[in-house]
């Protein structure tokens, strides 16, 4: 039988050890400039991103696009600042 303390320990998010490779998925409205726009913001926080670390996937109806970028994450503050700025872009619908 689990105690309340055991249950809360089980539900905690796993700890991330920095530095590490960290994938970020940005979903937004498909446009010719969407990828360039999000890559510019990511590079502002994580440095130059190699094209091999960028994956693009377009929705079936070509309405939305997801860009998956793997960065060298250095810490929680870097990730929080990056996520916050990505969410300010009008074309961005979700950041995972």
Residue 93 in contact with residue 29, Cβ under 8 Å? Answer: yes
pTM of the model: 0.82
Per-residue tokens: 41: 């913001």
- pLDDT tens-digit map of 45-80: 999 999 999 999 999 999 999 999 999 999 999 999
Give the count of domains, the chain. Answer: 1
Identify the pLDDT of residue 10.
Answer: 53
- Quick one: pLDDT band at residue 38, thresholds 50, 70, 90? very high
Looking at the domain assignment, is residue 7 inside a domain?
A: no
CA distances from 6 to 3, 14, 15, 16 (A): 5, 15, 17, 21
Looking at the domain assignment, is residue 3 inside a domain?
A: no
Residue 45 in contact with residue 78, Cβ under 8 Å? Answer: yes
The CATH number of the domain where 34 resides is what?
A: 3.30.70.260
The boundaries of the domain holding residue 28 are 17-95
Looking at the domain assignment, is residue 1 inside a domain?
A: no
Token pair 């726009």 in the structure block, residue:
37
Query: Which element (helix H / strand E) includes 78?
Result: helix 76-88
């Amino acid at each position: 039988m689990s105690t309340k303390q055991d249950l809360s320990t089980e539900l905690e998010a796993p700890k991330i050890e920095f530095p590490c490779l960290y994938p970020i998925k940005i979903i937004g409205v498909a446009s010719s400039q969407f990828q360039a726009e999000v890559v510019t913001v990511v590079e502002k926080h994580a440095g130059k991103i190699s094209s091999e670390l960028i994956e693009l996937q377009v929705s079936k109806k070509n309405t939305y696009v997801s860009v998956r970028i793997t960065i060298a994450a250095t810490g929680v503050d870097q990730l929080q600042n990056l996520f916050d700025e990505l969410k300010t872009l009008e074309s961005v619908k979700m950041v995972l």
